[in-house]
Amino acid sequence: MIADTHIGNAAVKEDRIRSLVRDIAADPHALVVMIGDLVDAITIHDPKRFEAHDLASWITVADLDNLAMAEADHCIEMFKPITDKIIGLLGGNHEMELSRRSNTALGGYLATNLGVPYLGDAGAAIRLSFQRQNNGSAHSTTSYNGYLLHGYGGGRTKGAKENKLSRLLADNPDVDFCCMAHDHSRLVDEAFQAFYGRSRLYWRHRVAVMAG
C-alpha cells in the first residue's frame, strides 16, 4: 500500500520513495494499491494553506501556474517503473480538495497516465484471488475481500488512531482486510470472527492496516 507521499512538498524524501519503487519493481510477487494524497496539490489559489517554503526544490516559478499538474507529472514519472504492479489508485483528501476548488480530477489524471484502474475518491471494495498451482496446473483458488479508504478527520493521539482503525474493521464486517491512510501513522488491528459452514465452526482472521 502506498499513500500520503505528498509529492511536491519539501519535506518529502523522494530518494526513499524511489528506493521503495526499485524494491517493488524487483519483487516478482509484489502488488500495490495506492490510496490517496500522492501529491500535495496545495496551490497558490489556496492562500490559507499555501506556503512557498513548503515547495520541493525541483518546482520552478513556471510550475506555479499549474502547480498540481506539475506535481502530478513528477509523481507519474516516479511510479512509472511499477505500473504493472499497481492494481488500483484511490484519491485522497488533497486530490478531492483540489477538485472542489478547481474542478480538476487529479486522481483520475494520475490513474489514466499511469495506466492503472481508478478507484474513485471516496472508498473502494476490492477482491484479491490467489491461485495455487501444482505442476503448472491450477489446483485451488483463495479469495480475500477488502475495503480501501484514504481516511478522514483528525486524531492526534495513538489511541484515537487505533480507535479509528478498529471502527473501520467493525463497520465493514464482510471483508477480510481494510486499508487506510491519512493519519501518517503505521498501525495494525485484527479481529477473529466465528462463522459456521460445512457442518463445522470456522474462525476468520480479519486485519486492518493504517499506513502513509
Q: What's the pLDDT tens digit per position in 13-70? A: 999 999 999 999 999 999 999 999 999 999 998 989 999 999 999 999 999 999 999 9
Q: Residue 105 burial (CB < 10 Å; 0-12/13-18/19+)?
A: middle
pLDDT for the residue 85: 98
192-212: pLDDT as tens digits = 888 787 888 888 899 999 987
More confident residue, 85 or 45: 85
Are 10 and 55 spatial neighbours (Cβ–Cβ below 8 Å)? yes
126-162: pLDDT as tens digits = 999 988 877 766 678 899 999 999 998 877 788 999 9
Average pLDDT for 90-117: 93
Which distant-in-sequence residues (6+ apart) come within 8 Å of 143 by Cβ?
127, 128, 129, 130
Residue 106 φ/ψ, nearest 5 degrees? -70, -40
pLDDT for the residue 14: 97
Residue 42 φ/ψ, nearest 5 degrees? -105, 110
Q: Strand 177-180 to strand 137-149: parallel, antiparallel, or no bridges (unpaired)?
A: parallel
